[in-house]
């Protein structure tokens, strides 16, 4: 079974923000593939959609505590190609995704939380670029919890489709194939 975790913050004030790119992408994937509606799983404090070989997860913890949900729903092994974490990335431009396996967190607090909780960095990550323009904003926190501008939304919607296609490739084939097709 593939466990797909979409990182973000819960609550209305964080809906459609850059920091919730991973959460939004997993919601889109579930809807696009007609998977069951998300239901609250109290044990993991997350919304889950389970269908056959897919468990989609939206932690209801804040980003920095995402590992709590991951550890309750996924038991780590040496190789964890069945765990896919989807999240925002400030080092990638808007419209780009990057799929990797076994890499460091890159300073992403949600990814760090998962690494600590499952005691490994060996899992698949899909990083979604959220930076528009050539350089990072001065106030990063304000930027990442900010909503996409109308022209950015258009580009973000394209990347949601690309992310869903990459998840489908990971599920139907392999992470390596998805990397070669989408990176």
Active site residues: 19
144 φ, ψ to 5°?
-70, -30
Alpha-carbon torsion 115, 59, 97, 16, what sign? negative
With 0-12 / 13-18 / 19 or more C-beta atoms within 10 angstroms meaning exposed / middle / buried, residue 43 is exposed
State residue 127 phi and psi, 5-degree precision.
Answer: -95, 130
User: What are the helix and strand counts (H, E) for the chain?
Assistant: 6, 7
Tell me if 171 sits within 8 A of 54, measured CB to CB: yes
Q: What SS3 state is found at 62?
A: coil
Q: Where are the alpha helices (DSSP H) in the chain?
A: 21-32, 66-73, 109-118, 140-144, 150-172, 175-182
Distance CA 46, CA 114 (A): 14
């Amino acid at each position: 079974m593939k466990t797909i975790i979409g990182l973000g913050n819960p609550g209305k004030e964080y809906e459609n923000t850059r920091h919730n790119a991973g959460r939004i992408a997993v919601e889109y994937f579930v809807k696009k593939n007609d998977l069951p509606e998300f239901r609250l799983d109290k044990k993991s404090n997350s919304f889950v959609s389970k269908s056959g070989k897919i468990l989609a997860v939206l932690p209801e913890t804040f980003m920095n505590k995402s590992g709590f949900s991951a550890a309750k729903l996924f038991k780590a092994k040496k190789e964890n190609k069945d765990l896919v974490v989807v999240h925002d990335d400030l080092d990638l431009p808007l419209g780009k995704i990057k799929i990797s396996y076994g890499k460091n967190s890159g300073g992403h607090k949600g990814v760090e939380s998962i690494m600590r909780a499952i005691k490994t960095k060996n899992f698949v990550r899909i990083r979604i670029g959220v930076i528009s323009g050539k350089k990072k904003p001065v106030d990063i926190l304000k930027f990442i919890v900010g909503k996409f501008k109308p022209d950015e939304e258009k580009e973000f919607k394209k990347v949601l489709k690309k992310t869903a296609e990459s998840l489908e490739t990971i599920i139907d084939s392999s992470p390596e194939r998805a990397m070669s097709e989408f990176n």
